[in-house]
A and B are shown apart, each in its own frame.
Chain A
Amino acid sequence: MIAILKRDFRSYFNCMIGYVFIAVTLAFVGIYFMGVNLVNGYPYFSYTLASTVMFFLFCIPILTMKSMAEERKTRTDQLLLTAPVSVGQVVLGKFLAMAAVLAIPMLVICLCPLIMRISGATGLASDYASILAMFLMGCMFIAIGMFISSLTESQIIAAVGTFFVLLVLYMWDDLLNYLPTGVSANMIACLVAIIIVALLLYLMSGSSTLAMVIALIGAVAVIAAYFINSDVFSGLMSRILGALSVTAVLDNFAFYFVFDWGGLVFYLTVTALFVFLTAQTVQKRRWN
């Protein structure tokens, strides 16, 4: 695993990608830092940081696009998968290499609050907490990008796909505003969700009776809940999906100065999930 980590990390600096990634990230954060904190004198760096999340949408796909796709295309995955290391170690090594590349600009950014400190009091604690949250969010985006890269042999498709997924995550809160909040609409959404679950069960198990039973139980439960206390359904979709908002966590750190433990655990969980899914994708291909 260490060998793969070292090789991948070095490979980012054998070509332009590593340098471009670091330069672009630092340039954008630097411009915002100058404008918001230095020129206009806003005393919180965390605010600047949260505004630059948008640039992650462009930079992370560039970093992750080649991670798995290129190995497959050049057949170097044959070397990795026939070496005495597990698939999990291969994927983890690649993920950590990208996280290490991301850590470089994040460490440079750590200087910014100190620069502000020279000219007066700042919220050092909240600034550094925000940088940590931002780094973990970047790691989560990397895991997602790596997963998409493992689905294809084409780096371009990987980059574009990752960009759109990250874009949807970025706009998540705004999109949720368009969801209906009415009781009946949410109840119908619940029924549709149950039907989808039942269909998936049918496809995976091939047993139609099991799927029917699950669908019936779910439908009865939803309708019963509707008659007992219909308030449960008001705004249900936005509440459930809202809990998955990724930018909300960083906002808690940056704007409300709250150390959101739950949010960090959420970031780490999603990261672990996508690293796991990447390993599963590689495994699945071996068995086809």
Chain B
Amino acid sequence: MIEVRDLVKQYGDHVAVDHLSFTVEKGQIYGFLGPNGAGKSTTMNIMTGYIGLTEGEVIVNGHNILEEPEAAKRCIGYLPEIPPLYTDMTVTEYLRFAAQLKGVPKAERAGQIDRVVELTHLEDVTRRLIRNLSKGYRQRVGLAQALLGFPEVIILDEPTVGLDPKQIIEIRDLIRSLSGDHTVILSSHILSEVQEVCDQVLIINHGKLIASGTPAELEQQLSGSSLSLTVKGEDAEAVRALLSPLSGVTAVTVKPSANAGELDVELSCAQGSDVREAVSSACIAAGVPILMMKSADVSLEQIFLEVTDDDAAQPVEADFAGADGTDAPAEDAGEKEEPEQ
């Protein structure tokens, strides 16, 4: 559907997009994720032909955006970060203009305008001047404009900014209903939104693609899995010694729980291994009752923070180790004090 190969965009010395390559498949919803200034909007602007590129190529539906710009642009509906609205027009006038500009045949124009107005819930404001609309309505007019002509690819730059929670849910439902017939690419820095709406996530930082995949894949791929337990007992070292040798367990931390006589255990597991069964048999064999066991959820948020961390050169694990190290003496002291009590 869309192929981006080795895309580079330079503004003077500043490299906004740095050898970015990815492929977008038909009928799915893609989420562009990245901190501010990561190059999300620049990439979208290049894909839609608004600005040129320094190196590389963008192919939309088989049309190179530079060599056949009109054929490529015909396949794309675009809602930029700031909706491109003529404030001196009414909503209907504006949509009529956009439809004509996009080359929607005259016979279909009225029908299509009615349909996008219905989809974006703009029925009440069609006769009002865009100048007088609130930010949420303006955003929806921009979205309606992007949908006009029902192009195969719909690119939305932060589509839910400025909307109230109810509108956000409506727009998400709308975006979800578009997948299948349309390919949707949206950018966002609201992680829950991406997690909820998108089939595929592309995480970008400093103009580079850092990670991609389905939200579930990313969670697995990037963090492995981890398990948290609460067991009865007071001897942290014994529990550690019990669980560490199990195959698939890569790290064990044991802390006294808030409740006396209980221990909180965090297990890091190797990718793709399921250690729950082994853990429970080992505990039963050793006579350590398990009070609670659950897979710790690693949210997209954590992944995002992890991979977009500017000190990423320093391994992420090292950070945790450091944190544990500083906490450790206090814990040890706690463990020593407890028996005295």
Closest to B78 in A: A82
Which residues on the B side are within 8 Å of A10 (C-beta)? 93
Instruction: Say whether A82 contacts B76, CB under 8 Å.
Output: yes
CB < 8 Å neighbour of A86 from B69, B84, B89, B93: B69
Q: How far is the CB of B96 from chain A (nearest CB, A)?
A: 9
Taking the complex as formed, is B86 at the interface, i.e. its CB lies under 8 A from any CB of chain A? yes
Taking the complex as formed, is B88 at the interface, i.e. its CB lies under 8 A from any CB of chain A? yes
Instruction: Say whether A76 contacts B85, CB under 8 Å.
Output: yes
Closest to A90 in B: B101
Bound complex: CA A4 to CA B97 (Å): 8
B82-110 CB contacts (< 8 Å) to partner A: 82, 84-89, 93, 97-98, 100-103
Instruction: Say whether B74 contacts A84, CB under 8 Å.
Output: yes
Which residues on the A side are within 8 Å of B71 (C-beta)? 84
Which residues on the B side are within 8 Å of A11 (C-beta)? 86, 88-89
**In the complex with contacts A7-B86, A76-B84, A81-B97 CB distance below 8 A:** no
Taking the complex as formed, is A210 at the interface, i.e. its CB lies under 8 A from any CB of chain B? no
Which residues on the A side are within 8 Å of B230 (C-beta)? none
Instruction: Say whether A80 contacts B101, CB under 8 Å.
Output: yes
Instruction: Say whether B87 contacts A74, CB under 8 Å.
Output: yes
CB < 8 Å neighbour of A78 from B74, B76, B78, B98: B78
Q: How far is the CB of B272 from chain A (nearest CB, A)?
A: 43
A102-118 CB contacts (< 8 Å) to partner B: none
**In the complex with contacts A4-B101, A85-B70, A86-B69, A75-B82 CB distance below 8 A:** yes
Mark contacts of A1-32 with chain B using CB atoms, 8 A cut-off: 1 yes-contact digit, 0 otherwise.
01110110011001100000000000000000
| Max chain B C-beta neighbours (<10 A), residue from A14, A80, A83 | A83
Q: Among the listed stretches B49-57, B176-184, B259-267, which one makes contact with chain A, having 4 or more residues with CB under 8 Å of it?
A: B49-57
Closest to A89 in B: B70
**In the complex with contacts A75-B84, A82-B73, A84-B70, A3-B49 CB distance below 8 A:** no
Bound complex: CA A275 to CA B50 (Å): 20
Bound complex: CA A125 to CA B305 (Å): 78
CB < 8 Å neighbour of A3 from B52, B76, B97: B97
Taking the complex as formed, is B80 at the interface, i.e. its CB lies under 8 A from any CB of chain A? yes
Instruction: Say whether B89 contacts A82, CB under 8 Å.
Output: no
| Max chain A C-beta neighbours (<10 A), residue from B86, B93, B101, B103 | B101
Instruction: Say whether B52 contacts A286, CB under 8 Å.
Output: yes
Closest to A284 in B: B52
A235-288 CB contacts (< 8 Å) to partner B: 286-288
Taking the complex as formed, is B145 at the interface, i.e. its CB lies under 8 A from any CB of chain A? yes
Instruction: Say whether B88 contacts A14, CB under 8 Å.
Output: yes
Which residues on the A side are within 8 Å of B76 (C-beta)? 82
CB < 8 Å neighbour of A83 from B45, B73, B87, B89: B73
CB < 8 Å neighbour of A15 from B80, B88, B101, B103: B88
Which residues on the A side are within 8 Å of B98 (C-beta)? 79, 83
Taking the complex as formed, is B320 at the interface, i.e. its CB lies under 8 A from any CB of chain A? no
21 pairs, CB–CB < 8 Å, chain A vs chain B:
A7-B89, A11-B88, A15-B88, A74-B84, A74-B86, A75-B80, A76-B85, A76-B86, A78-B84, A79-B145, A82-B48, A82-B49, A82-B50, A82-B73, A83-B98, A83-B101, A84-B102, A85-B70, A86-B69, A286-B50, A288-B11
Q: Beyond the given A78-B78, A78-B82, could you list 20 further A-B residue pairs with CB under 8 A, ordered by the A residue number?
A: A3-B97, A3-B101, A11-B88, A75-B84, A76-B84, A76-B85, A77-B84, A79-B98, A79-B101, A82-B73, A82-B78, A83-B98, A83-B101, A84-B70, A84-B74, A84-B102, A84-B103, A85-B101, A286-B52, A287-B52
Residues of A participating in the B interface, judged by any CB pair closer than 8 Å? 2-4, 6-7, 10-11, 14-15, 74-86, 286-288
